[in-house]
Amino acid sequence: MNDNTQPDHREKQHDLFLRQRETLLLFLERNAISKQQFDKSYRDLCLKMGFPEEWNRKDKQQ
């Protein structure tokens, strides 16, 4: 893998992360999951996808 493909892959990964976050927020909004379930799932998503900084600023996103 060369350096030119790295940012593109990271951008795609972040776009996927954002879509999955929006899905979790939608579930929470419609009471399909509890706040506790959201927090756990969102934290797991952040860590597994390599965006721990997103978890640290979670309150700014909701």
pLDDT (0 to 100) of residue 7: 66
Predicted pLDDT of residue 55: 80
| pTM beyond 0.85, yes or no | no
Query: What's the chain's average pLDDT?
Result: 86
Across the range 36-40, mean pLDDT stands at: 96
* Rounded distance between C-alpha atoms, residue 35 and residue 25, angstroms: 10
Please enumerate in sequence order all residues whose Cβ is within 8 A of that of 51, keeping only pairs 6 or more positions apart, or say none: 14, 17
Is residue 1 helix, strand or coil?
Answer: coil
18 vs 57: which has the higher pLDDT: 18
Helices (H), the chain: 5-29, 35-49, 52-56
